[in-house]
Amino acid sequence: MKQPFSEEILSAYIDDELPAQERAAVERWIEESPEAREKLDGFRRLSGLFADLPRNEVPPEFPTNVLQLAERRMLLPEARPVQARQSLRRWALAGGSSIAAALVLGLMLQAYLPDGAPHQKAVRFDDGERPAGGPEVAVRSRALSEGETQDLAPAVASNKLSSLRGALPTYEQGAGPAAPTPAEDKLDRDSPESGIGRSAGARGERSKSAESVAALAVISPDQRKQIDQAMDEIGKTPEDENVVAVVKFHVIDRAEGLVLLQDAFADSQILVESEQAGEEGRSEGKIAAKSAAPGAVGNEALYVVAEPEQLRAAIATILAREKFALGLEIGDPIEIAALDDISKKRVQQVDRELISNVAGNRPTAPEDAKRSADAQAASERQKRERAKSDGKPGLETAAPALAEKKSLSKAQAAGREPQKPAEPKQKDNARPDAELKTPVPADKEAIEAPASQARQTVVNLPPEAGNQRGRAGTPRKESPSQKSAHRNSQRAPIFTKELAERDKDGDNDERAPALMRVLIVVEESAK
């Protein structure tokens, strides 16, 4: 006997998606037909199976991660979208560390800046310049006059200030701003605006608070352009290991500036490398940076090798702090040969280690990443143990030790307990679920993640390099060292290219960007 209604109608019936008349007819059919009742029962039991499926929850920090990633995208519009599981790990390694750098540097600068810092202005992206539409997003601040400050809409200004509180936003459900950490609390003194989403109130009120909050700034379109140009210029530097690009920061206090720069890069996982290792090495680097008496002009510079994204984020963080960095300039590339012996040795040490890492340990595809990271971690452990038994820590130990220390200190600075080791997983197979149910904070990931490839070391600049003047974004005349570099590039080993060849399947997805080498010079300038 032909059925009066199809199964599809029956399916729609249990979903309550039939018009009243049809529904009534179907109900009559169900009453009369055992077969219809059986089919209906089958559909209902099927629905019951879905009801039994477990519901997962995202980690509590998910909203904060989303907001931070969104703001980072606004800051770095060219940053590639998050791709699959790369995102979590790479976020912790590069992106997360950049955010951490911004956060830590922000806090450091807040502490560093004197009381009564100038008023701020939160700068709005012009419509045509906003990277990808969406809401106004404040990424940094810069010190401006009170009059300028008052030009802003309160809501926007509030957002700027709140975003800048820790350089990037955090989110706590239902509570508006997150509870301040001790460090944040210090920053919040006298300020009624202590968190994301807190209304600024009247303009006058906001201006008053602006007086008491240390210098906060946004990256202006001009600054972003300046960074783009700087990155382009760095990218144009001949691919020759004997030549290195030069970026100059003009600062108010050179000695302090160099230390802050060093920390900013270190917090971006651009790890400090020096002849001394570990804690000592880092201290030595900072002492070197501080050795120039305030007001004096020293000749130390930072040799930095990092991924472009790390560099960009760190430069943006630094440049945005107008109280600290007055400007950015591209200098002429210099030859490594022009450095003194100690500096050359340090540069070569960094280069050697990076090449060695790339050749030996660097993962070439996401599926190999964990295995390689484990191998690298084991290798680092062995080195540490070997160095410990020798009573003299090896140079290679500085980076992971520093990374671990910094991660811990960041956690401490944020008022949190250092992360305890993760609970052993019941089964390896249960990894993704377990990770989500027991979320691992970014700091924890940073501790467990393989050490960043990026490095920095303090070098002494040749006297003439400090006097070479360039201009951000303008083509440089080819200097003798560049000419030499062009010649050398034909025969010298090109390790930036070597580093770039990691995208084995050519889909441009899992490729880590090539490392950039740059000498960061800090010059003292009158404000």
Partner 1 sequence: MSKPDQELIAECLSGQTHAFGDLVARYQNRLFNTLVGVLGSVEDAHDVAQEAFVNAFQKLDTFRGHSAFYSWLFRIALNSAVSQKRKQRAVVSIDAAREQSGDEPIDRHPAARPEHALETNERQIAVRAALAELAEEFRTALILKEMEDLSYEEISEIVGCPIGTVRSRIHRARAELRVKLQGLLREPCDS
What kind and span of H or E run contains 304?
Answer: strand 300-306
Number of residues that bind partner 1 (CB under 8 A): 78
Shortest Å distance, C-beta 391 to partner 1 = 44
**268 phi/psi in degrees, rounded to 5:** -95, 25
Q: Is 30 in the site for partner 1 (CB under 8 A)?
A: no
Between vectors from CA 499 to CA 366 and to CA 316, what angle results, nearest 5°? 85
Q: Is 415 in the site for partner 1 (CB under 8 A)?
A: no
| Nearer Cβ to partner 1 (15/464) | 15
Looking at 136-144, 226-234, 391-399, 466-474, which segment touches partner 1 (CB under 8 A)? Answer: 136-144
| Nearer Cβ to partner 1 (156/500) | 156
| Nearer Cβ to partner 1 (84/526) | 84
Distance, CA of 451 to CA of 356 (rounded, Å):
14
Shortest Å distance, C-beta 189 to partner 1 = 21
Distance, CA of 55 to CA of 428 (rounded, Å):
21
Of 349-378, binders to partner 1 (CB under 8 A) are none
Looking at 3-11, 104-112, 317-325, 463-471, which segment touches partner 1 (CB under 8 A)? Answer: 3-11
Q: Is 1 in the site for partner 1 (CB under 8 A)?
A: no
Shortest Å distance, C-beta 23 to partner 1 = 14
Q: Is 426 in the site for partner 1 (CB under 8 A)?
A: yes
Of 31-50, binders to partner 1 (CB under 8 A) are 38-39, 41-43, 45-47, 49-50
Query: Residues with Cβ < 8 Å from 74, sequence gap 6 or more?
Result: 125, 130, 131, 132, 134, 137, 139
Shortest Å distance, C-beta 39 to partner 1 = 8
- Alpha-carbon distances, residue 118 vs 83, 115, 189, 298 (angstroms): 41, 9, 16, 28
Q: Is 173 in the site for partner 1 (CB under 8 A)?
A: yes
CB–CB of 249/152 below 8 Å?
A: no
Helices (H) and strands (E) in the chain, counts: 22, 8
Check residue 508 and report its DSSP letter. S
Of 71-110, binders to partner 1 (CB under 8 A) are 71, 73-74, 81-85, 87-88
Q: Which of 450, 406, 455 is nearest to 306 (CA)?
A: 455
**Residue from the set 389, 429, 467, 490 that interacts with partner 1 by CB under 8 A:** 429
Q: Is 69 in the site for partner 1 (CB under 8 A)?
A: yes
Query: Residues with Cβ < 8 Å from 174, sequence gap 6 or more?
Result: none
Q: Which of 498, 78, 64 is nearest to 312 (CA)?
A: 78
Q: Is 171 in the site for partner 1 (CB under 8 A)?
A: yes
**Residue from the set 1, 21, 31, 56 that interacts with partner 1 by CB under 8 A:** 56
| Nearer Cβ to partner 1 (175/342) | 175
